[in-house]
Structure 1
Amino acid sequence: MTDIAKIAEIVDRAAERAEAIGQLSENGYPLSLTEAYQVQAQSIDRRLARGEQLVGIKMGFTSRAKMIQMGVDDLIWGRLTDAMLLEEGGLIDLKNYVHPRIEPEIAFRLSAPLSGEVTLLEAMSAVEAVAPAMEIIDSRYENFKFSLQDVVADNSSSSGVVIGAWQAADCNIENLGMSLEFDGQAVEIGSSAAIMGNPYRSLVAASRLAGEAGLTLEKGWVVLAGAATAAQALKPGVHVRVVTEQLGCAEINVGEQAAQ
């Protein structure tokens, strides 16, 4: 019988201490996808027991190309806590991460709860505001090697969120130009259309997946719709900014110390 609590402790300690661990699936802990989500839930429960609060979820594999690459036919998701919300324009320390990468996103703030099967219109009507955002993803596995189940168990690699100024939800976000900049130079250029053709479709999927897990996306929660481009590895001393049409920008500074 799979010891979900033991694996959750391993994953949680790796994230808390920014220490790399061996790939679960190759170190005596093969997991089904259902078990991987159970590990994720229990590892986050450990954070909540330490005083953190659940504030939303992030979506992953929101592009068809990524699904094909990973051999899956559905999105994955992870949980966001208040400790993962980083000060916009602030400074982050690379010693808190193992393999930190950053990617441009669209963030939603909910004005009403969502759970289960909803229409696109119902999802849109539950959004209070949208914002440009960046997600720091950080796999805790040695050599950045992992399976789908390993990723999900590791909270779908979610580690930090930078959110820009919130904007009214009445703007069209289906095809916004987005660029990720390091020290003012674009390192990735894309469009919000890369997020399932329309980021709101990701919110529809978020509601469905949350419902399947017995979770409600609560009023005031943040939902990260998914990456608009590939992720870029963070470097010491770099200034990172996402620039979007209509929504503005969000930025963060990286400290000088290199990651482990």
Structure 2
Amino acid sequence: MSLDAEAVARLSERVETAQTYARAIRKLTDDHPGMTVADAYRVQTALRRSYERRGQRVVGWKAGLTSRPKMIQMGVDQPGVGFLTEAMARPEGSAITVSDLIHPRVECELAFVTKAELAGKVSRAEVLAATDYVQPALEIIDSRFTGFKFDLESVLADNSSSARFVLGGRPRRPEALDLRTIGVVMEIDGEIVALGASAEVLGHPAEAVAMLVGVLHDMGETLPAGSLVLSGAITQAVPVKAGNCVAARFFDMGSVGARFIA
């Protein structure tokens, strides 16, 4: 680790201000080129503690940058995780404002909801055994860095670009599906803009959840029973603006949608 406690607190405040007021900032490594992944998660943890002190409840976690094309696109070499609060949740079909976001983009994901605690280094099979159900989700990401350009350390400190999420469709037991082969079609205003299959997520979405639990273990955390986990983007992240209506259709799982307003 290269950052002292004062620097971690200062960077956490910088990220929180950018998130709260939708103001783009320079990537953090511009000022701290020696920043490590461990440092980045310390900043993220400080951010999470700040939100919790302000009364926001953490309801789960997300895996990010879980497909090889996405890693190449964003110039990073490994996935990451971020936390989800109840304030980020939006009802299915609801209107989501974009004026309080900087670079809103939408991804299609599978959400896992756990029925047992997961801790330590776990396998895909252990993740599936601990999963109550899976369901379709939209994640609205929003990097707080100028031009949507960042490196791994900066994006992890920015809570892996977490912003909003929407759950919908039909919850299904994991054993009732082949979670590698869930096809997804995303439409904006009735036009198909992205296609994907769930194997894009580390070969199997449960592998992303296992990765996430391992990262939490390294941070001294576990994934409690009843947690929500967004397992990572099946499709590319597509920019949205006020006036857009987004619908994602998941094979044999129904659809999830939202509209965007100023």
Q: TM-score range by the shorter chain?
A: over 0.9
Is the Cα contact below 8 Å between 1:105 and 1:226 reproduced in 2?
yes
1:227 paired with 2:233, answer yes
The whole-number CA distance in structure 1 between the counterparts of 2:238 and 2:70 is 15
SS of residue in 1 equivalent to 2:163? strand
> Paired residue for 2:182, among 176, 179, 186?
176
Using a 3 Å threshold, how does the CA distance of structure 1 residues 230 and 91 change in structure 2: closer, same or farther? same
> Paired residue for 1:239, among 245, 251, 262?
245
2:111 partner amino acid: A
1:215 paired with 2:221, answer yes
Report the Cα offset of residue 205 of structure 1.
1.1
Task: Find the counterpart in structure 2 of residue 109 from structure 1.
Answer: 113
Give the alignment's TM-score, normalised by structure 2. 0.93
SS of residue in 2 equivalent to 1:95? coil
Identity %, equivalent residues: 38
The whole-number CA distance in structure 2 between the counterparts of 1:254 and 1:11 is 24
Q: What's the Cα RMSD here? A: 1.5
1:193 paired with 2:199, answer yes
Report the Cα offset of residue 31 of structure 1.
1.7
1:78 paired with 2:82, answer yes
SS of residue in 1 equivalent to 2:118? coil
The whole-number CA distance in structure 2 between the counterparts of 1:17 and 1:157 is 15
Give the alignment's TM-score, normalised by structure 1. 0.94
> Paired residue for 1:167, among 163, 172, 188?
172
Is the Cα contact below 8 Å between 1:37 and 1:152 reproduced in 2?
yes
Which deviates more from structure 2 when the two are superposed, residues 116-125 or residues 98-107? 116-125
Is the Cα contact below 8 Å between 1:12 and 1:44 reproduced in 2?
no
The whole-number CA distance in structure 1 between the counterparts of 2:168 and 2:233 is 15
> Paired residue for 2:211, among 177, 201, 205?
205
Is the Cα contact below 8 Å between 2:189 and 2:245 reproduced in 1?
yes
Task: Find the counterpart in structure 1 of residue 154 from structure 2.
Answer: 150
> Paired residue for 1:136, among 117, 130, 140?
140
Task: Find the counterpart in structure 2 of residue 18 from structure 1.
Answer: 22
1:47 paired with 2:36, answer no
Structure 2 unmatched ranges of 5 or more: none
2:217 partner amino acid: G
Which deviates more from structure 2 when the two are superposed, residues 64-73 or residues 16-25? 64-73
The whole-number CA distance in structure 1 between the counterparts of 2:13 and 2:39 is 14
Report the Cα offset of residue 235 of structure 1.
1.6
Structure 1 unmatched ranges of 5 or more: none
1:192 partner amino acid: S
Report the Cα offset of residue 71 of structure 1.
5.6
Is the Cα contact below 8 Å between 1:24 and 1:30 reproduced in 2?
no
1:169 partner amino acid: P
SS of residue in 2 equivalent to 1:96? coil
2:112 partner amino acid: F
The whole-number CA distance in structure 2 between the counterparts of 1:214 and 1:242 is 35
1:123 paired with 2:127, answer yes
The Cα offsets for residues 212-232 of structure 1, whole Å up to 9 and x where unpaired, read as 111111111111110011100
The Cα offsets for residues 91-124 of structure 1, whole Å up to 9 and x where unpaired, read as 0111110111111101000001111111221110
Is the Cα contact below 8 Å between 1:40 and 1:154 reproduced in 2?
yes
Task: Find the counterpart in structure 2 of residue 253 from structure 1.
Answer: 259
Is the Cα contact below 8 Å between 2:70 and 2:236 reproduced in 1?
no
Spell out structure 1 runs of 4+ moving beyond 4 A. Answer: 68-73
